[in-house]
Every structure is written in C-alpha cells, then in structure tokens.
Amino acid sequence: MDPVEFDKDRCKGCELCVAFCARGCLKLSDGLNALGYRYARLTDPDHCTGCAVCADMCPEYSIRVFRKAKRTIANVR
C-alpha cells in the first residue's frame, strides 16, 4: 500500500501538494478527473516519508497519508 492516497475526483490541480513536497514525490497526472482537472499523484512511494505536509496543504481535503508503525523491541515480543 502506498503511504499517500488521493481522492482524484476531489482534486482541482492547484499543485500546492506538489510545491510543498520536500522529497519531490508528487506531480500532476497527464489524465483528467471527473471535474476536468489534472489530479495529483504519488510518483515515488519509496522516497515518501509520510510527513503529511501534502495533506495539510490540500484545500480540497483530497489526500490521506498512512504512516507505518515503527518496529520496536516492545512490539516484537
């Protein structure tokens, strides 16, 4: 599962998430959503840190970020 999930039909292609992604993991798609906008997508899931800045910047609330739990000695036992 990718660390970032987009509701592409809510996205209006403002590119705020793309501009604020410190790792450069996002870009606008070549395709259009149901509203006729190019929507944001994750291009490099391996470099995404799950910082959620993209979701915080999205005025349409179309981005969800999932973080993996850190593996510690306590949850290994």
First vs last C-alpha separation in the chain: 25
DSSP 47: T
Q: Say what the pLDDT of residue 74 is.
A: 63
Q: Say what the pLDDT of residue 71 is.
A: 67
Find all residues with CB under 8 Å of 23, minimum gap 6, and list them: 44, 47, 48, 49
Domain boundaries, the chain: 4-65
Q: Mean pLDDT per 10-residue run, the chain (77 residues)?
A: 92 97 96 96 93 96 85 63
Q: Domain 4-65 maps to which CATH number in 3.40.50.1370, 3.90.850.10, 3.20.20.70, 3.30.70.3270?
A: 3.30.70.3270
Among 30, 23, 26, 22, residue whose Cα is nearest residue 62: 26
